[in-house]
Amino acid sequence: MAIKTLTLVGGISRNSLNKKYFRSIQELSIPHFEFETFDISKLPFFSQDLEMDPPDIVSEFKDLIREAQAVLFISPEYNRSFPGVLKNAIDWGSRPYGQNLWNRKPAALLGASPGAIGTFGAQHHLRQVMAYLNMSVLGQPEMYFNASHAFDEQDRLTNEKTKELLLQYFAAFEEWIRLVGERTEDREDLYPSEGLEDSPMTH
Ligand SMILES: Cc1cc2nc3c(=O)[nH]c(=O)nc-3n(C[C@H](O)[C@H](O)[C@H](O)COP(=O)(O)O)c2cc1C
């Protein structure tokens, strides 16, 4: 059975490199993965005024998170972090308090940038948020992508090495999803599905 993987792309512009990256990943027909996506630009700005009775588009988004067996973020780098539009989507999924839908989701992250460090800064900020939300984030391999000359006129990846690395990356992610599933299955005491009441455990 293919792993239902909700993929959120943090680039929302028409010619987004990260959208091209995602399309290329879909075209690779990676074994055992079924990618679903959601256009995060359709979400309103998060407000606590709306969280108890959110607009339909938010409920639709939350249903996709609930149904997902895994989550993949593909994010550009904005000012050494990830774009606000992606943070907005993540915030919606984390609320209201005590109903964090990201909790325990096996997750991975990728990103494309025309810059030399290939979204290193974005990914590391994003990891901080994912860890707080108790997502089970793949630690290794990391993959940073300088995509300045990566696509041809048909928006296809030109470098066979990139495709090869992506296949390796998803093989590791698949193994991680299996391991994490086994680890958390029967440990409601350690990994409560509704999240911890008090976090962090300071005293
Ligand atoms: C507000 C803003 C900040 C940016 N900051 C960075 C940055 O810190 N590092 C980087 O490599 N590229 C940076 N860029 C360039 C983006 O990586 C580039 O525009 C990229 O194509 C955006 O992703 P997208 O094409 O998927 O929308 C920035 C672009 C914008 C608009």
Q: Where are the alpha helices (DSSP H) in 141-200?
A: 160-184
Q: Is residue 190 part of a domain?
A: no
- Residue 11, ligand 1, Cβ within 6 A: yes
Q: Is residue 202 part of a domain?
A: no
Q: Is residue 189 part of a domain?
A: no
Q: For residue 6, report the distance from its CA to the centre of ligand 1, in Å.
A: 23
- Residue 13, ligand 1, Cβ within 6 A: yes
Q: Is residue 145 part of a domain?
A: yes
Structural domain range at position 94:
3-47+56-184
Q: Is residue 91 part of a domain?
A: yes
Other beta carbons within 10 angstroms of residue 179's beta carbon come to 12
Can you give the pLDDT of all 203 residues of the chain as single tens digits? Answer: 899 999 999 999 999 999 999 999 999 999 999 999 999 999 999 999 999 999 999 999 999 999 999 999 999 999 999 999 999 999 999 999 999 999 999 999 999 999 999 999 999 999 999 999 999 999 999 999 999 999 999 999 999 999 999 999 999 999 999 999 876 655 666 655 555 555 677 76
Predicted local distance difference test score (pLDDT) of residue 194? 56
Q: CA nearest 11: which of 3, 26, 27, 22?
A: 22
- Residue 84, ligand 1, Cβ within 6 A: no
Q: Which two tokens stand for residue 195?
A: 């999240």
Q: For residue 197, report the distance from its CA to the centre of ligand 1, in Å.
A: 36
Q: For residue 175, report the distance from its CA to the centre of ligand 1, in Å.
A: 31
Predicted local distance difference test score (pLDDT) of residue 186? 56
Q: For residue 78, report the distance from its CA to the centre of ligand 1, in Å.
A: 5
Ligand 1 atom showing the smallest separation from residue 13 Cα: 27
Query: Rounded to an integer, what distance in angstroms lies between the CA atom of residue 136 and that of residue 97?
Result: 19
Sign of CA pseudo-dihedral 37, 41, 47, 49:
negative
Q: Is residue 200 part of a domain?
A: no
Q: Number of folded domains in the chain?
A: 1
| 85: CATH | 3.40.50.360
Q: Which two tokens stand for residue 127?
A: 């990891």
